[in-house]
Homo-oligomer: A and B are copies of this chain.
């Protein structure tokens, strides 16, 4: 077992790409090696088995999906009206869309979670915490809408992002949908 953190992170980031590109079944040690451009067998040395790899990937995805400090701070500035919320939601969609492999990898992890109770528990906890954090931030900042608003936004925006990433021509104007969504839900 090797412990170089830089290399481990690089391997995990490569694993995210592999997961997004080839799906859960495509996530093999060798595929990670190849995509990370490291010698064959390296991933074998860093992760004891596939379960270990998947778990660490899940953590890494969430680490990368967490918005940075400036983004979070921006929520607390400016007027707390529909316009601001609309802008924030557009930014959210664009931010997640800009890291497509993250969203797709998370989707693959969900599907894999169907078969791995351990992974399912981990993802359930993380995602529920994420939703709750969004609700708290939303309410505290005084933006329009209640807890249900946040949950419904979460649902619709997630699928909208999925459409953009997999079948972009189904909804040619996602921005219009985001605007309308906020207008009706908040």
| A interface residues, Cβ below 8 angstroms from B | 21-26, 104, 107-108, 110-115, 120, 123-124, 127-128, 131, 148-149, 151-152, 154-160, 162-163, 165-167, 169-171, 177, 180-181, 184-185
Chain B residue contacts of A152, Cβ below 8 A: 156, 177, 180-181, 184
Q: Tell me the minimal C-beta distance from A25 to chain B in angstroms.
A: 3
Residue from B128, B151, B167, B184 within 8 A of A177 (CB atoms): B151
B110–A166 touching, CB < 8 Å: yes
Residue from B24, B111, B127, B162 within 8 A of A170 (CB atoms): B127
Instruction: Specify which of A112, A123, A159, A165 lies most central, judged by the most chain B CB atoms within 10 Å of its CB.
Output: A159
Chain B residue contacts of A185, Cβ below 8 A: 184-185
